[in-house]
Amino acid sequence: MLNMAQAAVAELRSASWGSLLRSLTGINMMERLNRELAYNAWANREALRSLLGARTVPERAAAVMAHIIGAEWLWLRRLGHQCAPMEVWPALSLTECERELQALSRAWQACLNALSSESLDQQIRYANSKGEDWSNTVADMLTHVVLHSS
């Protein structure tokens, strides 16, 4: 009995978040990620819309919006999407942010269309902005993108 429990614990430890969710809940991860990234795009557009409508735009709010954009392009490059490099904290006008958000929406859709359910468990190695080596599954990286904007 103990060996079965140890085997189950070992299996859980080696499972990626995406495979664990699928096995426990039967959630279709591709469908969930599509919905979450569509929501992310909508929420980013709404946040930008509020900045565009403001009489005075808080400098920090504009900087964070530009950072969200820069970080999303970085995650797309890490996932293999061909796009021009952008700073993680770029200096973008709100008009440039609007244009970049439109391009990001198309790029994320293309990225998701190129993925399969099986590829969500693929490990991707990359260096973070501090130069530290990391490795995450594609599913975990996409989840991070959605959560980063919130």
Residue 8 has pLDDT above 60, yes or no: no
Instruction: Write the pLDDT tens digit of every residue in 90-116.
Output: 999 999 999 999 999 999 999 999 999
pTM here is 0.80
Give the per-residue pLDDT at 133.
96
Other CB atoms closer than 10 Å to residue 104's CB: what's the count? 21
Long-range contacts of 14-20 (CB under 8 A, 24+ apart): 16/120, 16/121, 16/137, 16/139, 16/140, 17/137, 17/139, 17/140, 17/143, 18/120, 18/121, 18/137, 18/138, 18/139, 18/140, 19/121
Instruction: Write the pLDDT tens digit of every residue in 21-69.
Output: 555 555 688 999 999 999 999 999 999 999 999 999 999 999 999 999 9
Tokens 């797309």 identify what position?
76
Confidence of residue 78 (pLDDT cuts 50, 70, 90): very high
Note down the domain range covering 35.
2-149
Q: Can you give the CATH number for the domain in which 133 is found? A: 1.20.120
Number of domains in the chain: 1
